[in-house]
A and B are shown apart, each in its own frame.
Chain A
Amino acid sequence: MRARPSHLVPLALVSVLRCDQGLQPMPLATSIAGTVTFAGAEPAGTEDVFVVAFRSFPKTTADLYSFVPFPPQSLPRPFTGSLSYAIAVPSGRYEWVVAVWKQQGSLVEANLREAGFYHDPANPTQPGVVVVNGPADGIDFVIDFDNLHPVCTYIPPCPP
């Protein structure tokens, strides 16, 4: 007697029953996360406040937009009290994790202010370096609306 294909139907059914692939690779979510604490009153004309990270400290206006994530996502309102945040970033070394205040208008230098940044725990006068291999938690700092610094504070000259 010759084998008929219909005899193999049960095995075919078995194959169809398989509906997923089992365990899959799970890349670590590389991110910077922490808590920001707001100080001072929210300035009039505020549109967004966002947290971004620079791999190296910007030295020119051309470096100004090399931050991640891009485009930036604003923190949720209200800008008072304390707030947990997390930004997705590629793994690597970040020299400046900074909060940027933006007044209403386009994303141009004139509408941006530095509102606070993560400080080096060992030397609080300097920005803290963050190395990201996975979720980098505990990157906490203050956003002080009473001490907003224009871009020219870091990339001079400032306009007269």
Chain B
Amino acid sequence: MSGRVAVALLVTQLGAPALAAQRTAVVYGSIRDSGGQPLRATVTDVASGLRSFADNQGRYRLSVAPGVTVVRVAHIGYAPVFDTLTLATDSVERNYFLRPSAVELQPYVVITAAKRSQLLDQAVTSVAVLEQPDIARRAITTVDEAVDKAPGVQFLNGQVNIRGSTGYVQGLGSRVLLLVDGVPANQGDRGGINWDLLPLDRVERVEVVKGAGSSLYGSAALGGVVNLITREIPPGFHARVRATGSLFGNPPQDVWRFRDYTGAREGIDVTGSYGTAMFRGSYSAGGWHSDGYREQDRQDHWQIGGKGEWRPAPGTVVTGSGSWASDQYQVPLRWCVRGGCDDRGQAYQPFRIDTSGLGSHTRSDKGYLTATLDRAPSPRVALHARASWLRTHFIDFQPGNNDAGVANRLGAELRGHLAPAPAQDVTVGAEAARSDVTSDIFGSHSQTELAAYGESERGLGPTRLTAGARIDYLAVDGGSLTAVLSPRVGGVLPTARGAWRVSIGRGFRAPSLAERFVSTTVSGLTVIPNPSLTPETAWSFELGNATRWSGVVRSDAALFWTEAYDLIEPHVDLNSSEIQFRNVARARLAGLDLALDASPLTPRLTTSLAYTFLYSRDLALDSALAFRPTHLLTLTADYHWRAWGVGGDFRYSSRFGRVELYPDDPRVDAEVLDLRASWEQGPLAARILLTNALDYIYNLVPRTLAPVRTLSVTLTWTY
């Protein structure tokens, strides 16, 4: 008898009284393909939405309510199986065999677009979903890498753009809201996003909601929402160790060489969990070191995190989670141009930095704590309450000038979901948040946000109509309240030509405390505060269609149009040598977002195409918006055969029509090919990833070199 089986039996026996007391039943067994290979498939209780994931040996265990239950067993590349079970308060073994099939296209369940569970095709706005198998298949190591290749999404040096929402404002303010399990996680001072807040290994799924989402989420959801959904804690004992090693390619030109060794990155993550029917807990710890791929680019990262669940009664879940990450990294300032370093007779040296910036480094600590209560007292009512605390701390060490800041964001939310009629859903809630900062460059300030929101969805025949609004009250340093109203209406109409969706909504972003109160000097220019900044707003319209073609092709196309007002941009006055953030820009972003998924030739081959055409215009300047590509294309192909897999991604981003700071610098489009291969057998998995395989040298952000060719090997052991 293996230790694992003994633990399973022990867990079963310990859990038996509790199970009986709570009147739950357990379905367990294994899932394999027609050749007998285990599949890490998903088992879902269709009625409640509760899910379980099979382990690497194909074994699963799912707790469900007694009575008649329909479970759905699914895995990408295989036809799903629906099984109707009649269960008492006992356990039933069910073993499933899945047949290879075209890409399993429906139904995705998403939870971000409407702050509740709904089928993807019922969302009134575009939603891109990345599941854990996709993330694991790509052998990536960080959260931003996972989000980066989503359709319509582009990262500019850590700043996320959804359909060109943000551009590049050097981390000060983000027009995309980050959620971790539905909890806002943008920084309290700068409004930006720490993508290293959460280790990728804890992420089960990423949902990217495109377009204005302020009618439910308030500030920062001007261009979209990214929700990181952490892994569910399965019953029993589980552990996972993941080790990664990478080598950075040396500069492709000898004249760009800047060191006499090959840079490397090494990291390890350990996660463990234990769950019973009533209590579940998980932890994660890890870290990595990187030499970086350019001069002054060393980084060290450490993190710990955990999550606990208590299920005191059926339909009631109390969750506590948290994470803390610490980074010490050198700051590779803008690359060196003629005379700024040992330029070797070159106009610029993309791998080197200006000698005036040598020695710059940063320590950045960040963490969050969240407690939530979810209760479903009846099938028609669900309640959610949460409290959260996000804290960030940074020290920038610069030659002759250090900056530091501590920021907190405390939040609370109460939400109710009602289903008063079979074809009607109502979501209402209230939210409060307080952000504060203490910093030598931002001063000591606070901002309070109070909000109430409601949204109703109603079926009219086959059509589902949605209408809702949120009102936010903002106060800075205890001053007068500013009110912002964010309505949204939309509808979904299923037809023979797919599901049509349409929506129009208003988004906004409150100025960050940094934008209001920053006081510092940059390149000889004085940055002065502007306490009178007002929120920037936008109206977003979308018309979309999701269609399944011939069983092997699925398309999702959307026309979008955004009119933005009072965008906050840095205003440079060369006469007074001053920079100030002002509500200056009036902008228009419109275009087409297209995604195609197909499984041509054989179910073992999956391919996808994502294309975004973006027309962006700064209406105040009558010019293109800076840092927005007109064309963004991503092609993906993966082939699986038994335990082996190979695949690749190609990303093309057209040359920016306009950039700021150094408009005369040479710039090119981006053409990046990533290749991967994997092997998975039992508890072991090995993945090889070659990013930027063509070693294409480019930059998206002024004088900041994008990652070069990097070879990574990831080994994973799962128990």
Q: Which residues of A contact B (CB under 8 A)?
A: 1, 3-4, 6-8, 10-11, 13-15, 17-28, 30, 91, 133-134
Contact = CB atoms under 8 A, between A and B. Distances in A.
Given A17-B650, A26-B347, A28-B345, 12 more contacts: A7-B602, A7-B605, A10-B607, A11-B648, A11-B675, A14-B673, A18-B673, A18-B696, A21-B697, A24-B697, A25-B256, A26-B348
B602 A10 contact: no
A3 B694 CA distance: 24
Contact of B601 (A6, A18, A21): A6
Contact of B346 (A7, A11, A17, A25): A25
Rank and list the top 5 A-B pairs by shortest CB-CB distance, nearest first. A14-B650, A26-B347, A22-B697, A10-B637, A22-B696
B625 to A, nearest CB: 23
A19 to B, nearest CB: 8
Nearest to B696: A22
Contacts, number: 75
Contacts of A15: 673, 694
B476 interface: no
B710 to A, nearest CB: 15
B635 interface: yes
Nearest to B649: A14
A5 to B, nearest CB: 11
Contacts of B256: 25
Contacts of A22: 668, 671, 696-698
B346 A14 contact: no
A20 B694 CA distance: 11
Given A6-B601, A10-B607, A20 B347 contact: no
Given A7-B605, A10-B635, A26 B666 contact: yes
A28 to B, nearest CB: 5
B662 interface: no
A52 to B, nearest CB: 22
A83 B650 CA distance: 51
Given A7-B605, A20-B668, A91-B345, A25 B652 contact: no
B261 interface: no
Given A23-B350, A25-B346, A7 B697 contact: no
Contacts of A4: 601
B605 to A, nearest CB: 5
Interface in B602-652: 602, 604-605, 607, 635, 637, 639, 641, 648, 650, 652
B523 interface: no
Given A10-B607, A18-B671, A18-B696, A3 B338 contact: no
7 contacts: A10-B637, A17-B650, A18-B671, A18-B673, A20-B668, A23-B697, A27-B345
Interface string B448-475: 0000000000000000000000000000
A1 B604 contact: yes
A7 B601 contact: yes
A55 to B, nearest CB: 18
B381 interface: no
Contacts of B339: 134
